[in-house]
Structure 1
């Protein structure tokens, strides 16, 4: 009879160990997921576009430290993590150093938000930073598009996204609302009624992405007006930044506790099986 009970006991105790391992895995993953979500909610992101015809190639400093070197006109950075609070931003002609900054401005950054910061202005007097708050939430398997009017001498413009979406009478320094789009080939057009000029650029919209269309340059001077696009991934259904920044490993502070829990649970599980073998 004892021999018949041994397999049953072993199976029960083996099942207990499997259950312990499952809880261990669930606990570990839950800890990482929870802290990653908290880290994302408490992290701010900033990207920068150089849209100032006056500055040319520039160096950008944040809080007294170099942030971007040899930043060329019409360039767009990826998102970078930035602590919340007020940050001192300075822009200088390339190689001139922070002491020769043409623009010094305080940039307030709120927790959990994403920003596009445009360096704008065609003269020393109009040099400025235009800040846009981003919302890169995207519907699953869809794409989103936003247009930014950064041409200082264009007056109002009209933007066309694909065949069916038009944004009328955009003023300088405006950003359009986000437009939901089907994926696939798409053409962006910006018309400048003031000079009867149309700018166009083709783009293939990928699923779960946010495409920004920046109208930059000058219609009556140099550098010439052009459309610049930048695409970042969005996270379906979540109000994330959609940015590429890699979050720090927020589970690290709890690693010792998690490791101790793993050792204890494994010891309990193997102790149960060993006890079963000795008394079978």
Structure 2
């Protein structure tokens, strides 16, 4: 099922990726958009017209002193995940445009990695033992790799070493687009596999 949209809007969601940040309420241009978003969780997608927005992040249930204020410029006709990233003392918003499933054959999938662990060094990611993504630094997003659909073993190593810091299994379904987010801080690293909403959106 595809959502076909001919309006000049983008689909936007928030992702709480700050390992020591509190649950938050997020306001866009003064209006409450996302409530009580906690670490490791995504909001729903909302439609926003192209333009620049003032985003304010408050501890959940409060609206006295924001812990982060940042303007974000949104393009039109994209699907975007905005991460609340960094340790609590150094928060920032980072917008990641999602890749779509255009021209993705049956029984093929797309996968990328985003490194959002503020205290972790650069990493390499191996897929079934083969180097797939190299030297990924904090806040970096890799390009998408196209892989046959199926289940894969992913190994995250310190860059240019065989020192493994995280392992996970990823199930990639036919004609779907995925991002794996590396979050948390050593030694408590986590991997969150997310189905990109762009899998289902087609702009006219």
Which secondary structure state, in structure 2, belongs to the residue aligned with residue 159 of structure 1? strand
Gap change, CA 1:244 and 1:59, over 3 Å in 2 = farther
CA deviation digits over 1:176-215, x for unaligned, max 9?
0100010111222222369x44212212211110111000
8 A Cα contact 1:79 1:243, kept in partner: no
Gap change, CA 1:81 and 1:94, over 3 Å in 2 = same
CA deviation digits over 1:213-260, x for unaligned, max 9?
00001115xxx2100111136xxxxxxx32469x9xxxxxxxxxxxxx
Across the aligned residues of Structure 1 and Structure 2, the Cα RMSD in angstroms comes to: 2.4
Which residue number in structure 2 is paired with residue 93 of structure 1?
59
Relative to structure 2, which stretch is displaced further, 133-142 or 79-88? Answer: 133-142
In structure 2, what is the Cα distance between the partners aligned to 1:113 and 1:232?
12
Which residue number in structure 2 is paired with residue 38 of structure 1?
6
In structure 2, what is the Cα distance between the partners aligned to 1:174 and 1:64?
29
The structure with the greater share of residues assigned to helix is 1
Which secondary structure state, in structure 2, belongs to the residue aligned with residue 137 of structure 1? coil
The structure with the greater share of residues assigned to strand is 2
Which residue number in structure 2 is paired with residue 52 of structure 1?
18
Trace 1:221-240 onto structure 2 (pairs within 5 A).
224-232=188-196
8 A Cα contact 2:15 2:84, kept in partner: yes
Trace 1:125-144 onto structure 2 (pairs within 5 A).
126-138=90-102, 139-141=104-106, 142-144=108-110
In structure 2, what is the Cα distance between the partners aligned to 1:182 and 1:92?
42
Which secondary structure state, in structure 1, belongs to the residue aligned with residue 40 of structure 2? coil
Higher Rg of the two aligned structures: 1
Which residue number in structure 1 is paired with residue 168 of structure 2?
201
What TM-score comes out, normalization by structure 1 length?
0.64
State how many pairs are aligned.
Answer: 197
CA deviation digits over 1:133-174, x for unaligned, max 9?
222234121100010000111111111234445211111110
Trace 1:216-255 onto structure 2 (pairs within 5 A).
216-220=183-187, 224-232=188-196, 241-243=198-200
Give every structure 1 segment of 4 or more consecutive aligned residues whose post-TM-superposition deviation is greater than 6 Å.
none
Could you list the runs of 5+ residues in structure 2 that have no partner in the other structure? none
Which secondary structure state, in structure 2, belongs to the residue aligned with residue 242 of structure 1? helix
Gap change, CA 1:79 and 1:242, over 3 Å in 2 = farther
Could you list the runs of 5+ residues in structure 1 that have no partner in the other structure? 1-35, 234-240, 248-280
In structure 1, what is the Cα distance between the partners aligned to 2:192 and 2:183?
7
